């Protein structure tokens, strides 16, 4: 029996969310809980696999368009990144735009701290003001950022694909308000393509995506005193054509009962926990959504195969 910790408290948002999801008719967990420190690291590992094409495709596009971006938005000002700033992509943007202030926003504070330490070594003249925040909720940016005339939001990695269709639009509306009139927002999205290519990217042959998904159960055990047997579940990736999204599930290999934060959760053999959605857009569906949120699409960059899109929006 694990010692009770503060995460057992009913007012803990993690415990509440997990229990609500696991007692629902169709079990599900918000994908934001996949990204604890281990999960964030496993996601970085996914991006290095052969099968996961989005990160390297996006990076290839960035290498061709950052100069043009800086010409459009201007040099200097503030960059606010929706994400930790751990990626190579951040540096491509910082090198081109040369902001005076950089604000990374991330839910995983510890992971972000490491990224910030590395960035400030590489960019000694750059002011960095990290904000630990869940950007699926409204966030407040530092005054020093809001006072700058040139403000650029940056949302790489196709993380927007994690939002439900309606929520992605609401998010774009919120960012429009947060960044303010005259700001730019560079938002990146994975595009609809051959379903086998898509499915392989979310069930890579190295098993890294499976480990990433199963880490959720390890996290429940550690932080909620749950007793999941991680070997009695397996990872599954499904392309949902109607909703234009890849879904990740954890599937129970047998009938079993698991104890989570003081409750018994029953699983039938083959029962799923739905853990993540990754929506795929087309240039047109992204444009419609952005315009619905009050943005103008200034420019769209893609790769030769049209696998990935980089959209520059203007408020």
Residues lying near ligand AVJ in the complex (CB under 6 A) are found at: 43, 46, 54, 157-159, 161-162, 202, 209, 276, 278
Q: Which is nearer to ligand AVJ, 155 or 295 (CB)?
A: 155
- DSSP conformation class of 133: -
Q: Which is nearer to ligand AVJ, 176 or 280 (CB)?
A: 280
Minimum separation from the CB atom of position 280 to ligand AVJ (A): 9
CB-count exposure of residue 52 (10 Å: 0-12, 13-18, 19+): buried
Q: From the CB of residue 298, how many other CB atoms can be counted at a distance below 10 Å?
A: 15
Q: From the CB of residue 187, how many other CB atoms can be counted at a distance below 10 Å?
A: 25
Q: Which is nearer to ligand AVJ, 123 or 163 (CB)?
A: 163
Minimum separation from the CB atom of position 9 to ligand AVJ (A): 29
Minimum separation from the CB atom of position 259 to ligand AVJ (A): 27
- Nearest residue to the partner ligand AVJ, using Cβ: 278
Helix 165-179 vs helix 283-292: crossing angle, to nearest 10: 50
CB-count exposure of residue 70 (10 Å: 0-12, 13-18, 19+): middle
Kindly give, in sequence order, each residue whose CB lies less than 8 Å from that of residue 68, ignoring residues fewer than 6 positions away.
Answer: 299
Q: From the CB of residue 121, how many other CB atoms can be counted at a distance below 10 Å?
A: 8
Q: Which residues of 139-170 are buried (b: 16+ CB within 10 A; e: fewer)?
A: bebeeebeebebbbbbbbbbbbbbbeeeebbe
Q: Which is nearer to ligand AVJ, 43 or 145 (CB)?
A: 43
Minimum separation from the CB atom of position 237 to ligand AVJ (A): 8
Q: Which is nearer to ligand AVJ, 202 or 301 (CB)?
A: 202
Q: Which is nearer to ligand AVJ, 77 or 190 (CB)?
A: 190
**Dihedral, CA of residue 137, residue 175, residue 287 and residue 292, to nearest 10:** 80
Minimum separation from the CB atom of position 76 to ligand AVJ (A): 29
Looking up tokens 């393509």, which residue turns up? 193
Minimum separation from the CB atom of position 138 to ligand AVJ (A): 20
Q: Which is nearer to ligand AVJ, 92 or 261 (CB)?
A: 92
Minimum separation from the CB atom of position 290 to ligand AVJ (A): 18
Q: Which is nearer to ligand AVJ, 145 or 311 (CB)?
A: 311
Minimum separation from the CB atom of position 201 to ligand AVJ (A): 7
- Spatial separation of the C-alpha atoms in residues 236 and 31, rounded to whole Å: 15
Minimum separation from the CB atom of position 278 to ligand AVJ (A): 3
Nearest 5°: the CA angle 280, 281, 284 is 170
- Spatial separation of the C-alpha atoms in residues 100 and 206, rounded to whole Å: 40
Using alpha carbons, list the distances in angstroms from residue 290 to 72, 129, 192.
Answer: 19, 27, 17
Q: Which is nearer to ligand AVJ, 69 or 248 (CB)?
A: 248
């Amino acid at each position: 029996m694990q010692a009770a910790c503060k995460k057992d408290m009913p007012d803990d948002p993690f415990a509440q969310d997990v229990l609500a999801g696991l007692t629902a008719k169709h079990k599900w967990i918000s994908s934001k809980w996949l990204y604890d420190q281990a999960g964030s690291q496993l996601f970085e590992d996914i991006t290095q696999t052969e099968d996961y094409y989005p990160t390297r495709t996006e990076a290839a596009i960035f290498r061709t368009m950052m100069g043009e971006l800086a010409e459009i938005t201007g040099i200097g000002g503030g960059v606010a990144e929706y994400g930790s700033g751990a990626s190579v992509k951040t540096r491509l943007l910082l090198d081109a735009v040369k902001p005076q202030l950089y604000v990374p926003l991330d839910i995983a504070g510890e992971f972000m701290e490491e990224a910030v330490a590395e960035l400030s070594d590489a960019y000694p003249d750059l002011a960095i003001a990290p904000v630990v925040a869940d950007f699926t909720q409204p966030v407040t940016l530092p005054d020093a950022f809001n006072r700058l005339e040139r403000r650029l939001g940056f949302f790489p990695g196709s993380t927007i694909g994690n939002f439900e269709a309606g929520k992605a639009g609401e998010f774009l509306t919120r960012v429009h308000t947060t960044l303010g009139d005259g700001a730019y927002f560079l938002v990146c999205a994975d595009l609809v393509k051959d379903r086998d290519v898509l499915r392989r990217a979310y069930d890579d042959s190295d098993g890294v995506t499976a480990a990433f998904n199963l880490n959720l159960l390890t996290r429940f055990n550690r932080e909620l005193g749950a007793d999941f047997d991680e070997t009695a579940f397996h990872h599954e990736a499904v392309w949902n054509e109607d909703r234009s999204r890849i879904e990740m599930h954890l599937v129970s290999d047998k009938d079993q009962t698991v104890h989570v934060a003081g409750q018994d959760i029953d699983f039938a053999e083959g029962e799923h926990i739905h853990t993540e959605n990754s929506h795929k857009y087309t240039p047109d569906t992204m444009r419609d959504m952005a315009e619905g949120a009050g943005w103008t699409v200034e420019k769209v960059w893609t790769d030769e195969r049209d696998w990935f899109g980089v959209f520059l929006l203007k408020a």
